[in-house]
Structure 1
Amino acid sequence: MTDPTTTTVGDTVILRDEPPTQPARSRSRGSMIFRKVIATNRARIGGGVLLFIILWAFIGPLLYPWSFTDQDGLAFSQPPSLDHWFGTNNIGQDVYAQTLVGLQKSLVIGLIVGPAAALIAGLVGAVAGYLGGVWDKAIIWVIDLLLVIPSFYLIVLLSPVFRSLSWLALVVFLALFGWMVLARVIRGQTMSLREREYVKAARFMGVPGFTIVRRHILPNVASLLIIDATLGIGAAILSETTLSFFGFGVQAPDVSLGTLLALGSTAAVTRPWLFVFPAGILIITVLASSLLGDALRDAIDPTSGANRD
């Protein structure tokens, strides 16, 4: 039997190189993190519940015969039934339809505010840490000032403005007051990253500072931004609910979980379905978001809480 790696020509044996083997594809860091995340019970439960809630909130109203503005003149303050799954309020409006519409609004606000605040924190913190000097001191002074100002009371003072604007104004204010703590963390990370050889080499080659931040700094702190954006969804939903509960957030005719809780709190004992269903859905949504963010944090940073599943 001839060796497949040799060739015989007359009395001469010629050695041939072995055919190159295909190297196994190295798993990217993103795929490894994804595998770690889906391997945890917290991620599967939290992500599955959150996905179900999002689909339910946006598809559920399309499959239900009642709209959140419809009134049933024969069912005032009725408990849950086959006709009205979550019951009705004192003017005959369907609580199930209103809860889904309110959940839509709260989810949209949370899904916008969480990533937006993380993006602001990443940009501001990276710029402050990279530039240093006077710029760093000025940005840190602004951050500290915003941390001292009680954002809740400031939004309360500005609430008359919300009444003349859409709920998007609330989104802007929540995003503007939710990035400061993470920005300080990103700043510290950036001050360490700017001393790395590849950052110094890029600066020596004349690469603009903004390009260095975009190409070399932000990708290295992306894990922190992803974690904060995920956890920030639940925090933003709670903030919106609290403000709307006290009448400083979403305004009529718009509906959110906060406005439903405010209306149902006065009848929590006599007509509990007006309060229990919105409150239960709020708790489940925030808990699912927290579970997913917690699992993502542990997958990216194993030292934060390993082996808790």
Structure 2
Amino acid sequence: MPQQPPVRSTPARASRPDASMSLLTNVMDHSLDDGYAEAAARKQAEGAGGMPKTLRAKLGLAAGLVLAALVVTVGAAQARIAAPVVAKEREDLIDRIDRETEAADKLESTVDELRDDVSARQREALRESGGGDQAELVGILAGAVEVHGPGIKLVVDDAKEASTGGDSDPRETSGFSDTGRVRDRDLQRVVNGLWASGAEAVSINGQRLTALSAIRAAGDAILVDNKPLVPPYTVLAVGDGKNLSTRFQDSADGLYLHALQENFGIRTAISVEDDVRLPAAPSVIVRTAQPRTEKGTS
């Protein structure tokens, strides 16, 4: 019986490690579709791709390049010409601002000098008119001169969690206290209480109060003589410090301020000071009073 030749087994080929990603591999290997490749080859065979072949097309391309270069050159030249003009205008504007600022500073200095001169003339007129020793007292009480002496320092501030009160108009409501904010009438009561307790001069945030001073609200701001104040409100009062503090805290206005602190979180702090300094009022204008004339004189 003839012997069968041995059957040779073909060794197994090793599988590719990325065989499971055949679709992704095919996309990576053939990123350009065959149709695009055929179209590119056809255009190249027909001479449609690359640089223009005819003289007319070459001249058109050259003209386009020249025009583009001309536009870029003209733009750059205009920018270069305009740059010094813009820089000069900027320098002129800065110089003008500096001049106007210097002029405003000089005017402000002149106003301060004239105000001091008017105050000095007012004091001199009081002395010459027979005021004598009372002239200085009148100036102090009227707020026309700077004062200093023992007194108290009272700081009134909004509550820590004070709200703005929404869109309500404070002129149409009872005030800010229910929102944790100090209102104008709160400061009015504080100032009136200090006057009633024996204060000889009072200021709020450096604003000297006189008999003509007004404390009012405008929107969410508190104005003193039409100047807006920013909390905390520091009230300085000249007087018998310890007695002034005691009288104020025991008065109805002092108890009112304490109630604001307890019920609405208004923050207050009062201290007795050995020496407090209050500036003069910005302007003291007499609107109605007339100087007294002797009999037989006009």
* TM-score category of the 2 structures, normalised to the smaller one: under 0.3
Greater relative contact order structure (CA < 8 Å, 6+ sep): 1
State the structure with more CA Rg.
Answer: 2
Q: TM-score, normalised by structure 2?
A: 0.21
* Larger strand share, 1 or 2: 2
